[in-house]
Structure 1
Amino acid sequence: MKLLFLIKAIGGVYIKNIDLYRVFYITAIEKNFSKAANRLFITQPSVSHSIKQLENELAIQLFTRTSKGVLLTKEGEELFGYLKQAFDLIHRGEQKMTEMKNLQSGSVTVGGSDSTCKHYLLPYIQSFQELYPDIQIKLQHGSTPQILNKLTNGLIDIGIVHLPVNQSNVAITDFLDIHSTFVVGKKFQHLSKEKLSLSAIQEYPLISFSEASSSRKFLNQLFLKQQIDVKPDMEVGSVELLIECAKIGMGIAFVTKELVSTELAEKELFEVEIDEVIEKRMIGLAVKKDTSLSLAADMFLNHLLA
C-alpha cells in the first residue's frame, strides 16, 4: 500500500505520493533506471513512470537522459540536496529506534526525595547500569506532592512516592515497606530503657521534618489518634540533618527506622519505644496513566519491581 501525504513542493505544488521522491532519490544515486529498479524491487518502466509523474507534477525536468543512464539537471541537483537530508534523517531515526529497542541508548528520569534516592534507589541504579551501561538515569528530587506534579507535567517517567496517594491520573505500584520510630542520642539515652506514651514524648524537644512532608503528616496522624496536637520544636529538611540533631542531643527525632539502621547498630542513636503501635508505611512507584513508557523506562520499572 502506498503512503499518501500532502507535501508542499516547489511553487505551491502538492505531491501526494512520497514514494515518488524515494524513486527519484534512488535513481539520482544510481544514475540508471535499471539499477534503481533493482534496488527498489520494482520494474524499470515503473521507475521511468514515477520519474515522469514527479516531473509533471513539479513542472520541472529533473533528469537528462543519456545513452548510459541519467544525469541530474541543475534543478534535480537542488531537489536531491534537500531529499538527501530528509532520507539521512529517516535513516538516523531508524538507527536510533534499533538502538533503543536493543537498550543501547535512551534515558530514564526518576523523581523522589533525597533520602529515598540515596537509601533506596541508588542500589537499583547501580545494578541496572551494570546490565545496561548505555542507558542514562536522571534524578530529580522533591517531596511527594512535588514529584506527583512533575509526573503529571511529563518532567519525569517514574516517581517514588510515599503512600497513600489519591490522584486519578497516576497509577501506583507498591514498592517498599518502611517503619517509623523515635530515636535519641546519648544525651537522652535513658529514654530508650522504658516505654513512653506520646504525651510523655511531647515533654521533650521533638525533631521532625517540615509540615509539608509525608513523614510529618504521618507523625501528626499518630498523635491525633490520642487527641494530641503535636508541635515539633525543630523542623528540618533532610534526614541527614535530622540524624545529626538527634545525635548531638537536641531532642527526640521521628525518623524512618531503615534510614538509621547504621547509627542504631553503632550505638550512635537509640530507639525509644512507645506504648502505641506505629503502623508501617509504604513507598510506591508512580507512573502517569494513559501514557506509554519508553522501552528504557519500562525496563527500569521492571528492574525496580524484580
Structure 2
Amino acid sequence: MKLLFLIRAIGGVYIINTDLYRVFYITAIEKNFSKAAHRLFITQPSVSHSIKQLENELGMQLFTRTSKGVLLTKEGDVLFDYLKQAFDLIHHAEQKMTEMKNLQNGSVTVGGSDSTCKHYLLPYIQTFQELYPDIQIRLQHGSTPQILEKLENGLIDIGIVHLPVHQNNISITEFLSLHTTFVAGKKFQHLSKERLSLSAIQEYPLISFSEASSSRKFLNQLFLTRELEVQSDIEVGSVELLIECAKIGMGIAFVAKELVQKELAEKELFEVNIDEVIDLRKIGLATKKGNSLSLAAETFFNHLLA
C-alpha cells in the first residue's frame, strides 16, 4: 500500500501519492527528466507522466520546459522548499533508525529500589556501557509497588521487583535468588554459636525495614509459619542503615546475605542461625505485557539475563 499525503486547502482536500512528490523532488534537483529517471530507476516517460499527474492534482504548473531540461516555476519553487524540509526529516529519521539498529543511539529507563540498583543492577550497567557506550541508562527508584505503577504508566521500560507479583498486565522473568538471614554485631556475637528458634529471636531487639516493604512482608510471612508476629524494635529505610544499626549492637537484623558478605568476612557482623529453613527470595525483571521493548531496552534486558 502506498503512502498518501492529505493536504487541506481552500478548495478541498487533495490526496496525493507520495511517489509523485518524490519524482517531483528529484526532478527539481536534477533539472532534467532523463537524469531524474536514471536516479529513480524508472523511465523518462514515467517521470513526465508523474509530473503531469501532480500538476493536474494541484491545478498548477510546476515546471517550465526548456531545450536543456526543466526549471521550477514560482509555484514549483514554493513546493520544493517545503518538500526539501520533509525529505530532509525523512533522511534524518532513517539515519536515526540505523544508529538505533546498530545500538549507536537510544536509552533505557530502569526502575528498582535503592539497594537493588546499588548492589545488583550497577555492575550490569557498568559492563553494558562498556559494550554500548552510546546507550543512555536512566534509573528511577521506588518500592516494588511504586515500580509496578511506573511501569504501568509507561515511565520505565524495565522494573527490578521483589517477587511474587500478581498483576495480569505485567510479565515477570526471574532474575536473582537471594539468601536472607539474621545477622548481629559483636554485642550479640555469642548468638552465632547457637541455633535459635523464631520465638527466641523475638527476645532480642529486631531491626527490619518498614511494614510496607517487601522485605518486611517476607519476614512477617516467615514468622507466621510458626504463628508468631514480628515485633520490630527498629525500622529503617535503607540497607546501609540497617547494616550500621546491627554493627553497633542495636539488635538483630534481617537482611539478604549477599549484601553483608564483606561485613561477615571482616567479623563486623555475625550470622545468627535459626532452626527454620528460610525460602529463597526472588527478584524478577518486570515488563508491561503488550508493550514491545525498544532495541536498546531489549538488548539491556538480555544483558541482565546473560
| TM class by smaller structure | over 0.9
1:8 and 2:7 correspond: yes
Q: What runs of 5+ residues in structure 2 fail to find an aligned partner?
A: none
Counterparts of 2:130 and 2:3, CA distance in 1 = 45
Q: What runs of 5+ residues in structure 1 fail to find an aligned partner?
A: none
- The letter of the residue matching 2:71 is L
Identity %: 82
Aligned length: 305
Partner of 1:259: 259
Cα deviations by residue, 1:178-202 (Å, 9 ceiling, x for unpaired): 0111111112222222122212211
Instruction: Give the secondary-structure state (helix, strand or coil) at the position aligned to 1:277.
Output: coil
Partner of 1:235: 235
Cα deviations by residue, 1:169-226 (Å, 9 ceiling, x for unpaired): 1111111110111111112222222122212211221111111111000000011111
Q: Is the 8 A contact 1:13 1:57 kept in 2?
A: no
Counterparts of 1:131 and 1:4, CA distance in 2 = 38
How much has 1:103 moved relative to structure 2? 1.1
Partner of 2:129: 129
Instruction: Give the secondary-structure state (helix, strand or coil) at the position aligned to 1:71.
Output: strand
Partner of 1:61: 61
Cα deviations by residue, 1:214-250 (Å, 9 ceiling, x for unpaired): 1000000011111112131111111011111111111
Cα deviations by residue, 1:29-82 (Å, 9 ceiling, x for unpaired): 111111111111111111111111111111122112222111112221111111
Cα deviations by residue, 1:238-282 (Å, 9 ceiling, x for unpaired): 101111111111111111110011011111111111111111111
How much has 1:22 moved relative to structure 2? 0.7
Moved over 6 A (4+): none
How much has 1:9 moved relative to structure 2? 4.8
Partner of 1:273: 273
Computed over aligned residues only, the root mean square deviation of the Cα atoms, in angstroms, reads 1.3
Cα deviations by residue, 1:88-133 (Å, 9 ceiling, x for unpaired): 1111111111111111111111111111111111111111111111
Counterparts of 1:74 and 1:171, CA distance in 2 = 58
Q: Is the 8 A contact 1:9 1:15 kept in 2?
A: no
Partner of 2:39: 39
Counterparts of 1:233 and 1:14, CA distance in 2 = 75
Instruction: Give the secondary-structure state (helix, strand or coil) at the position aligned to 1:212.
Output: coil
Counterparts of 1:6 and 1:304, CA distance in 2 = 43
- The letter of the residue matching 1:45 is P
Counterparts of 2:143 and 2:61, CA distance in 1 = 64
Counterparts of 1:153 and 1:186, CA distance in 2 = 46
1:293 and 2:273 correspond: no
TM-score normalized by the length of structure 2: 0.96
Counterparts of 1:35 and 1:29, CA distance in 2 = 10
